[in-house]
Structure 1
Amino acid sequence: MTEAEWLTTRKVEELLLWLGAARSRNWSKRKSGMFAVACAERTKAFMPEACTLRGLELAEQLAEGVASESEYDTYRSESRTASPPKTPGPESWAWNLPYSVMLVVLPYRPNISPPKKAIEVCKLCATVLGGGDDSDRGTQEFGTQADLLRDIFGNPFRAVSFAPSWRTGTMVALASQMYSSRDFSAMPILADALQDAGCDDENILNHCRGGETHVRGCWVVDLILSRA
């Protein structure tokens, strides 16, 4: 894969497989989990059951390393008492989505690589939102997922060196606020603050000022917060 292909392709499966095969320095269990969560978050409208929404929350906590496998086991046992939708459709397809997201970061099904587990999540999300991963809406969703992947993993073709002097108290506070609130509308302000602190890395500044969607796991925010 070339850098130009990485930056423009709408085929998220190709990006994930390449990342896994290249053993990119950008890859991490947390980032793969946060990507899966970001994709699944887009299907929340089809997760009316409290236990399903709780599962998505737990999936994010597992990715962040603040929940344990025993909590996954407890959730799985408790969720068995709930009744999944019986009619085939987006709600029934979304029912098991939190489990698929959790498996991206848990050591179960070791014969399947984390990138391929993430691909399963992508396809299931596209099915929920588009009625099938081969539909026009499903194809469009794969493109959106590719954008989310780039927001989280950055550009593996460009090494980024983040100077400690750029990580000011103001910077950390702003990044923490965005991360906590899930509101990343202040990214352009973050770019200005970085520049004032001496940051001259165009990859960082352009990412903050671009029009792309940002989610938890955004590679620039992670750099500031020292999250791997």
Structure 2
Amino acid sequence: MTEAEWLMATDPIPLLEFLRDRASDRKLRLFALACSRRALSHGRIAWTVSAIEANEQYADEQVSTDSTNRDSDFVTLAIETARQFADTEAWNTVVNAANPDYAVEIATQNAARAAEGVAHCDLVRELFGNPFHSISHDPAWRTEAVVGLAAGVYADRAFDRLPVLADALEDAGCADADILTHCRGPGPHVRGCWVVDLLLGKS
């Protein structure tokens, strides 16, 4: 895979395959859970917020048991999650449209699957950044203010504070365009954001 392919991809499967043996189980689990939150927000799965949060806690080793995915291949889990929710989104779009024209239904289904694929690619890039860019952060950036803000963003899912985090990073001497642009960008931002993880020492 090239950098251009990574940045322009609209199908998450090649991105996730590229990450095989490169990504931590935690990151891949958080991707699957971000897809689950996306599906839940549209009423597409039976999961509850508490179930998703419990899996997030397991990902961060805040609870000691995992009743669903012990010993999983997390790349496969992430791929299956992306595919499952893309298919569910497409199916729900067709059902809700209730269009009697089969050809139009197929076109609608394909468009919905494509849109969901783009959204999932954005989530992959949110969690993993650009693997073709080496980010070497200066420990001097990790001031008390920066670490406190990053920890708060992570714990509270308060992604609206990311621009404030960017300001604090600049005050600490950070001039890295990738980091600052990401913090000030529209997202999507989810738990596992590569910048927040970088600052908190999470992998």
Looking at structure 1, the residues matched to 17 and 92 of structure 2 have their Cα atoms a distance apart, in angstroms, of 21
**Higher deviation after alignment, 139-148 or 55-64:** 55-64
Size of the aligned set, in residue pairs, is 187
Deviation per residue, 1:78-103 (Å, 9 max, x gap): xxxxxxxxxxxxxxxxxxxxxxxx53
TM-score using structure 1 length: 0.75
Q: Where does residue 123 of structure 1 map in the other structure?
A: 83
Contact 1:10–1:143 under 8 Å retained in 2: yes
Is the alpha carbon distance of 1:217 and 1:202 closer, same or farther for their aligned partners in structure 2, counting shifts above 3 Å?
same
RMSD: 2.2
Establish whether residue 141 from structure 1 lines up as the match of residue 142 from structure 2. no
Secondary structure of the equivalent of 1:186? helix
Looking at structure 1, the residues matched to 57 and 155 of structure 2 have their Cα atoms a distance apart, in angstroms, of 13
Contact 1:9–1:146 under 8 Å retained in 2: yes
> 1:39-118 to 2 correspondence within 5 Å?
39-45=35-41, 46=43, 52-69=48-65, 71-72=66-67, 102-103=68-69, 106-108=70-72, 113-118=73-78
Is the alpha carbon distance of 1:151 and 1:57 closer, same or farther for their aligned partners in structure 2, counting shifts above 3 Å?
same
Q: 1:35 aligns with which of 31, 37, 41?
A: 31
CA drift at 1:47: 6.7
Q: Where does residue 188 of structure 1 map in the other structure?
A: 163
Q: Which amino acid aligns with 1:122?
A: A
Q: Which amino acid aligns with 2:178?
A: N
CA drift at 1:136: 1.8
CA drift at 1:226: 1.4
Looking at structure 1, the residues matched to 138 and 170 of structure 2 have their Cα atoms a distance apart, in angstroms, of 12
Contact 1:126–1:132 under 8 Å retained in 2: no
CA drift at 1:119: 0.7
| Structure 1 unaligned regions, length at least 5 | 73-101
| Structure 2 unaligned regions, length at least 5 | 94-108
Q: Where does residue 15 of structure 1 map in the other structure?
A: 15
Looking at structure 2, the residues matched to 184 and 44 of structure 1 have their Cα atoms a distance apart, in angstroms, of 19
Identity of aligned residues (%): 41
TM-score using structure 2 length: 0.83
